[in-house]
Structure 1
């Protein structure tokens, strides 16, 4: 048995996300149960290439999700996309109970392999924060044939016993319950001028006195996309002392979106290991010139014999490499192997201040300058990283 503490600032950390993907190797089938699930969490696990290879060509997976809190219609939509993608190889059921004063709260996954299997059980939910950002703890238990048999039988008996609480994700009651999780609680609001941004027609529920301590706002349909995934959005928060890498991106042939880095940066900043391809997977999210947060990019580390150490950057795909000035990328380490980044091109309005910021480091090699948020923010105040929009 291996015990892990997932800690976003501990260099030796190992995330549940990485553990789940490690366990997918050589798997015949498996199952997972998670209390709270978000769109981002689904994408991180079920959308990863390792999971795709396991389920599409080798095995099957059953996922049971809770809906007491957090899990919303965007989660259900993403799960529906996965069902269409994987067909009968993936089964998803919602545990929707009617027990008063009881919360559905388990978080575990088991996998059966050709010989034996793996059980992963801990505190993590299937959310971006739960898989990568929160301080969590979990056990990774390798099992023999007898042990995995016992777990599978026990699990299936539990499913049979609770069959009446297991629903399809398209069930009308499930969708209605998911909509309830799309409400936002605004705390400690004392005056109505704090809620002037509420759209006309939105419903406000206040169970308290005339002082607005807790206001639950049910948003209009057009605004739901922007606000209901706050749990995932919070996974990308950072502080003034978070580490930042400012890096010129070399042309490196026709596919410069595969950004090359030196060995030291590859290992110390990105937390990968030279010579170990695909073992360490970093998570990236780009921020465009307008401050819009991009989709999750799951990137296995690539280390080749020519001593090139690289990661693909979605923000660079399809762009022509500029000359004579080079693209500049700014990466904020929000957690171990988890990064926000902006790719600055010479046509961007904030490019010159960033170029001036690294001017005294320029030379024969690509600039690789590590600072903190406070320093670069004070000298490059117009970077879109400081005003991120969902």
Structure 2
């Protein structure tokens, strides 16, 4: 059993040392040289799938990943289209369609097995394959190590279930899956009371131009508003979310490996000095377009020096400015999970951020060249964040998240 895993693991921000569901999943994969993965999850989102599988699928040891996903809520069109693009040589993904409206598909577990099925794991708990379920919600799970006969029994149960429920399992391109996904998209749109967000969406629609005006209002709403929000699962923040304003030092030619002091690394990023099993997840929000870039998986690596590195993809390939230091704005959206924007001196909003840094950063160290490292809750300096593209992910009182209790099988 891995040192970081207990029989009962409660995923809660108040537990400093608990592994998130994806961290436990990946640790177990490495612990027994997993080659096969089998899993069933009731609700799936594009972001949740990527957090769990985007880097796992790059491991050469993994030969096959078999997933069964539910379509009774949350799993929408954007998610299904994303899953269709998964490597078909590696992934075998089927949608479960119940034969009755009296029950929904609700399991949340995965089975890991090595090549000869002599060792594996059963990870089962409350978290769905969503960013909220994996990194943000208060969830619980257990990871049970299995050997030989027990693992064989578990895999046999899986195979038996697939056999007796084959009529419920549909390909992702099946018409009934497409219809279910569309209904889930519409349900999400109908359940979100986003007055402020819809007002902003309406204003953006006015700027679309004559070409967009040719589309009907429902199409515009779905293509513009829904597409912009489809990746908001777990990436939104609120007034109490913690912000880090950090000037990025040059340090070396690879300045994209941003150096942070020990306190910032441990207290803000919730890194570890003891294990590399914990993983920081980042997503960059382009400061100009507002585009949400791909997921960045960053293992927590302890180093002998006093500097602790967090690699920033947004800085890769960029020359360090001759004047001024790049400024990164991080916002904590979940356990070791952050969205951020990197502002270079040529960015329009850089001067405003720099003025704020100059007015608020007090260098307490002996060295005068120490860079700004300031943390605060969003509400403390909300006006500073509002003009940035990061603020489109602010979840205010008008935005209500998924009401799972209202979800019914359709």
Q: For the residues of structure 1 that align with 2:65 and 2:335, how far apart are their CA atoms?
A: 28
State how many pairs are aligned.
366
SS of residue in 2 equivalent to 1:74: helix
1:7 matched to which residue of 2? 12
Instruction: Say what the alpha-carbon RMSD is for the aligned residues.
Output: 3.0
Alpha-carbon spacing, 1:6–1:171, altered in 2? closer, same or farther (3 Å): same
Is 1:121 matched with 2:124? Answer: yes
1:281 matched to which residue of 2? 279
Q: Which has the higher contact order (CA 8 A, sep 6+)?
A: 2
Shift of 1:52: 2.3
Range moving further from structure 2, 93-102 or 224-233: 224-233
1:209 matched to which residue of 2? none
Query: TM-score, normalised on structure 2?
Result: 0.80
1:255 matched to which residue of 2? 254
1:109 matched to which residue of 2? 110
Please give the residue correspondences for 1:194-213 in structure 2 after superposition, counting only pairs within 5 Å.
197=202
Q: For the residues of structure 2 that align with 1:228 and 1:365, how far apart are their CA atoms?
A: 41
SS of residue in 1 equivalent to 2:273: coil
Shift of 1:157: 0.8
* Structure 1, gaps ≥5 residues long: 204-218
SS of residue in 2 equivalent to 1:273: coil
Query: TM-score, normalised on structure 1?
Result: 0.84
Is 1:132 matched with 2:132? Answer: no
Please give the residue correspondences for 1:1-390 in structure 2 after superposition, counting only pairs within 5 Å.
2-8=7-13, 10-25=15-30, 26-48=33-55, 50-53=56-59, 56-84=60-88, 87=89, 89-113=90-114, 115-183=118-186, 184-186=189-191, 197=202, 219-220=218-219, 223-224=222-223, 226-227=225-226, 230=229, 232-274=231-273, 276=275, 278-290=276-288, 291-359=290-358, 360-362=361-363, 363-379=368-384, 381-388=386-393
Contact preservation (8 Å) 1:357, 1:380: no
Contact preservation (8 Å) 1:293, 1:389: no
Contact preservation (8 Å) 2:45, 2:233: no
Q: For the residues of structure 2 that align with 1:131 and 1:229, how far apart are their CA atoms?
A: 22
Shift of 1:222: 7.9
Q: For the residues of structure 1 that align with 2:242 and 2:193, how far apart are their CA atoms?
A: 33
Shift of 1:9: 5.4
Shift of 1:384: 3.1
Between structures 1 and 2, the one with greater strand share: 1
